[in-house]
Structure formats: structure tokens, C-alpha cells
Amino acid sequence: MAGDDKARLKLLEREVKELRRANEILRKASAYFAMAEFDRRER
């Protein structure tokens, strides 16, 4: 694998890691707000 390819792969792997982390945060936030709405409607 050429040096440019290795650098590109490293960059893409870092980007995938960041996007997965962002998705997890958004998933948790969505669940939190859904529960807050559910609790609000029960009262």
C-alpha cells in the first residue's frame, strides 16, 4: 500500500470513529427527549 493510501485510510478511519461517536450521542439524546415527552404526556 502506498504512503498516500495509508494516510487516506488513516484519515477515513478517524472520520468513521468520529461519526460513530456522534451517532451514539444523537441516539442517546433522541431517547432522552422521547422519554421526557412520554413523561410529560403521562402527567
Residue 31 pLDDT > 90:
yes
pTM: 0.74
DSSP assignment of 1-43, as one string?
--HHHHHHHHHHHHHHHHHHHHHHHHHHHHHHHHHHHHHHHH-
Condensed to tens digits (0 to 9), the pLDDT of residues 21-30 reads 999 999 999 9
